[in-house]
């Protein structure tokens, strides 16, 4: 079964645009879970452009499914995650000012750093995942970091899918097969959408979770949030 974790960053973007509390992020998380989503994801960036650090604390009591906090493990982020204790932390090698996530970890170069950070979160009882590309050498090195899971970075797949290139799925399928053989759980995310999610799901073995935000919230502007959540669940079933 592949769990749908809804990334609510873009709801926070809308909320912040007027400086108040509309739409209410906590209520949105409650409703999204009632609509059937199996997780809530947030990505508090250092500039708090959308999710604020306080949101991570405010959401903790209402996320009764799986709570996934994503980010670069800088000191403030590590402190936040260790205090909030979500179900899962997903480590992403983002720089402070980049527009969005655009690369996975170099698990070879950063092997010892990742080992230390992952050990700290695992010691706190938090499941770990690391954002990664499909390079098989990087997948192999991910296994020795001690991480519970990897999150396949799916932007390239989504871009190629839009161009009609269905062969772009092959590196992701190969990476998933290797990761499973190495004992790694498999998540995926970035630019997944109603258009591409079913094809992705059908071709990726052992897919435990997808985290989807930008497309899902954009699609909800036209089709409604509850309807879109259920459309994703149908495509993932
Ligand atoms: C790691 C990942 O792919 C998502 O967390 C994505 O980065 C969302 O971040 P933004 O909503 O800031 O684009
Ligand atoms: N980890 C991916 C995520 O949380 C959402 O990415 P996107 O769907 O906003 O591109």
Q: Domain with 137 in it: what CATH number? A: 3.20.20.70
Domain count, the chain: 1
DSSP 118-176: HHHHHHTT-EEEEEE-S-HHHHHHHHTTT-SEEEEE-HHHHHHHHTT-GGGGHHHHHHH
Q: Which helix (H) or strand (E) element contains residue 57? A: helix 53-59
Q: SS3 of 5, please?
A: strand
Report how far ligand 1's centroid is from the alpha carbon of 57 (Å). Answer: 19
Question: How far apart, in Å, are the Cα atoms of 38 and each of 23, 74, 92?
Answer: 21, 28, 21
What pLDDT is stored for residue 62 in this prediction?
A: 98
Residues annotated within the binding site for 1-deoxy-D-xylulose 5-phosphate are 45, 50, 100
Would residue 70 show up in a list of annotated catalytic residues for this protein? yes
What pLDDT is stored for residue 169 in this prediction?
A: 98
Would residue 110 show up in a list of annotated catalytic residues for this protein? no
What pLDDT is stored for residue 165 in this prediction?
A: 98
Residue 25, domain extent: 3-236
What pLDDT is stored for residue 154 in this prediction?
A: 98
What pLDDT is stored for residue 142 in this prediction?
A: 98
Residues annotated within the binding site for 3-amino-2-oxopropyl phosphate are 7, 18, 191, 213-214
What pLDDT is stored for residue 112 in this prediction?
A: 98
**ipTM value greater than 0.85:** yes
Q: Which residue owns the Cα nearest ligand 2 atom 1?
A: 189
pLDDT 10s digit of each residue in the chain, 237 long? 999 999 999 999 999 999 999 999 999 999 999 999 999 999 999 999 999 999 999 999 999 999 999 999 999 999 999 999 999 999 999 999 999 999 999 999 999 999 999 999 999 999 999 999 999 999 999 999 999 999 999 999 999 999 999 999 999 999 999 999 999 999 999 999 999 999 999 999 999 999 999 999 999 999 999 999 999 999 999
């Amino acid at each position: 079964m592949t769990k749908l974790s809804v990334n609510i960053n873009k709801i926070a973007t809308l909320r912040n645009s007027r400086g108040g509390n509309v739409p209410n992020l906590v209520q949105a998380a409650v409703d999204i879970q009632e609509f059937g989503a199996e997780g809530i994801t947030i990505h508090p960036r250092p500039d708090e452009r959308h999710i604020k650090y306080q949101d991570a604390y405010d959401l903790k009591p209402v996320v009764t499914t799986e709570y996934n906090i994503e980010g670069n493990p800088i000191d403030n982020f590590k402190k936040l995650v260790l205090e909030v204790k979500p179900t899962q932390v997903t480590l992403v090698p983002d720089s402070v000012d980049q527009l969005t996530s655009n690369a996975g970890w170099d698990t070879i170069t950063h092997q010892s750093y990742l080992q230390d950070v992952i050990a700290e979160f695992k010691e706190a009882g938090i499941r770990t995942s690391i954002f990664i590309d499909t390079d098989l050498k990087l997948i192999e090195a991910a296994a020795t970091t001690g991480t519970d899971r990897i999150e396949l970075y799916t932007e390239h797949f989504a871009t190629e899918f839009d161009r009609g290139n269905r062969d772009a799925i092959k590196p992701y399928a190969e990476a998933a097969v290797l990761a499973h053989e190495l004992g790694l759980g498999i998540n995926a995310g970035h630019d997944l959408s109603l258009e591409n999610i079913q094809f992705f799901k059908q071709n990726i073995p052992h897919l435990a979770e997808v985290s989807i935000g930008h497309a899902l919230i954009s699609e909800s502007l036209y089709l409604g949030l509850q309807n879109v959540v259920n459309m994703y669940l149908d495509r993932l079933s």
